[in-house]
Structure 1
């Protein structure tokens, strides 16, 4: 099943069911007004959405219309919780090596995770508004899951059953603000502006055998100014699976329906697969040459993030954004 949220002038938008080929959609009228409403009562609402999905794919849904990602908000426009992990430890290792910092052994068996802002996500085609190019704007191509209610102390063998949906993520970072923030010892804040997500969120079964062991075994494609710069396989070198990230999150607290958990920047040890963020490219340059030569994003730059299935068809639709100068409203 594929779901999206239509911009309608409200904070939470209107829930859509989207066809498998991403060509048509239908408003989930009379089933659930919003994505959060569906997640809150998933066992009752999901089967009804599934029936509408089947009718839509068969061309039998009444009031079906052309699906337009430009009219989409993030699938979950605001969430009770957004926690981003760093499951691709290769990425962490490269960034630390570039600045001659040691890699703690604990990073290989205890996930890194931070809690980001979840009250103001932006849509898949919304502009990335930036006040200053000097802040070092970077894209970060990731995968995320949306969970149902997860009890505190959830064991890893039970965690997968709480995954409701998957999405792509652009976890925007302001790299030049990060060092000073981390030096305070209290984590990210100003260096993590609004996050964006793919037009569509999908249930795990939509991925077929590409969803295995709590990982997505397909490439995440990142194109920067229309040039493909990365296509690492998300199932390769993912040290911590999504069930493991959920278990980590819920060690000391419950997670409520609508919690979003990110994988962190998708990264492969095979450098020929390219990069999913500029920081990784710069890290490789620093290791090889002693200095970074690739600049961060500038006003007018564009980023496209997408995942294709084994037949070359888009699964989630594309995140496609431009960087624009912010003017206070």
Structure 2
């Protein structure tokens, strides 16, 4: 099942069911108005939406209309929680190696995680507005899940049962603001502006064997100013699967329906070619590209994003069709 939230002038949008091929949609009016309603009563409402989804895919929905990603807000335009992990240890290793810092041993046994702002997400086609290019504007292509209720002390296996939906994320970062914040030993805040999510959220059953063990084994594609810079495998090198990420939160608290948990920047290791390392699958954020340049050349040469730059993040299924629709955003100067 695929779900989206259409812009309607409200904070939470209007829930729509979207066909598997992303060609048509149907308002969920009569079942639920907003996605959070469905997450709060998943057992009762999701089967009704599934029936509508099947009718839509069969071309029998009477009031279907062409699906337009430009009309989409984030599937959850605001959420009770947005917790972003760093599940790809290769990303951590690269960034730390570039500054001659050792990766602490517990990073390999316990995931990193920060709690981001969840009251104001960007839509998949909304401009990302910033006051200054000097802040070091960077995209981060990720996979994310939306949960139901997951009780405190849940195991990773139990936590997997609480996953309701999957999405893509662009977790914007302001790299030049990060060092001063981390130096205060209190984590990210101003350096993590509003995150954008894919046009549609998708139930795990839609992925077949591509969804295994809490990992999504598909390629995450990233384009910067129209040029492909990343074709990263989201599953193979994920150090901590989504069950482990959710269980990490559950160590001391309950996770409630409508929480979003991110994977962190999807990252793949280099391959050895002629005694040299090459990152043939590219990168999912500029910071990683700059880290690679520093390791190879002693200094970074790639600049961060400028006003007018664009980024596109998408994932295609084994049939070659877009699964979530694409995040397509332009970096813009904040008006005024």
* Normalised-by-shorter TM-score class: over 0.9
Return the alpha-carbon distance in structure 1 between the equivalents of residues 269 and 95 of structure 2: 13
Kindly report which structure 2 residues correspond to 1:218-257, keeping only aligned pairs within 5 A, or say none. 218-257=218-257
Deviation track 1:193-215 (CA, whole Å, cap 9, x = no partner) reads: 00000000000011111000110
Return the alpha-carbon distance in structure 1 between the equivalents of residues 157 and 313 of structure 2: 31
Aligned Cα root-mean-square deviation (Å): 0.5
Return the alpha-carbon distance in structure 1 between the equivalents of residues 218 and 155 of structure 2: 26
Which consecutive unaligned segments of at least 5 residues does structure 2 have? 271-278
Equivalent position of 1:277 in the other structure:
285
Q: TM-score, normalised by structure 2?
A: 0.97
Q: What is the SS of the residue equivalent to 1:220?
A: strand
Equivalent position of 1:86 in the other structure:
86
Equivalent position of 1:192 in the other structure:
192
Equivalent position of 2:309 in the other structure:
301
Q: What is the SS of the residue equivalent to 1:149?
A: coil
Kindly report which structure 2 residues correspond to 1:14-29, keeping only aligned pairs within 5 A, or say none. 14-29=14-29
Q: What is the SS of the residue equivalent to 1:22?
A: coil
Q: What is the SS of the residue equivalent to 1:273?
A: coil
Return the alpha-carbon distance in structure 2 between the equivalents of residues 184 and 275 of structure 1: 29
Equivalent position of 1:314 in the other structure:
322
Return the alpha-carbon distance in structure 2 between the equivalents of residues 252 and 60 of structure 1: 47
Return the alpha-carbon distance in structure 2 between the equivalents of residues 123 and 157 of structure 1: 32
Deviation track 1:42-97 (CA, whole Å, cap 9, x = no partner) reads: 00000000000000000011210000000000000000000000000100110011
Q: What is the SS of the residue equivalent to 2:74?
A: coil
Return the alpha-carbon distance in structure 1 between the equivalents of residues 106 and 155 of structure 2: 20
1:35 Cα deviation from its structure 2 partner: 0.5
Q: What is the SS of the residue equivalent to 2:158?
A: helix
Equivalent position of 2:159 in the other structure:
159
Equivalent position of 1:289 in the other structure:
297
1:280 Cα deviation from its structure 2 partner: 0.2
Return the alpha-carbon distance in structure 2 between the equivalents of residues 35 and 90 of structure 1: 34
Matched, 1:327 2:332: no
1:2 Cα deviation from its structure 2 partner: 0.2
Return the alpha-carbon distance in structure 2 between the equivalents of residues 157 and 4 of structure 1: 28
Moved over 2 A (4+): none
Kindly report which structure 2 residues correspond to 1:1-150, keeping only aligned pairs within 5 A, or say none. 1-150=1-150
Return the alpha-carbon distance in structure 1 between the equivalents of residues 297 and 155 of structure 2: 45
1:237 Cα deviation from its structure 2 partner: 1.0
Return the alpha-carbon distance in structure 1 between the equivalents of residues 159 and 260 of structure 2: 14
1:152 Cα deviation from its structure 2 partner: 0.3
Which consecutive unaligned segments of at least 5 residues does structure 1 have? none
1:156 Cα deviation from its structure 2 partner: 1.4
Equivalent position of 2:178 in the other structure:
178
Return the alpha-carbon distance in structure 2 between the equivalents of residues 160 and 194 of structure 1: 26
Q: TM-score, normalised by structure 1?
A: 0.99
Deviation track 1:150-183 (CA, whole Å, cap 9, x = no partner) reads: 1000011211110000000000000000000000
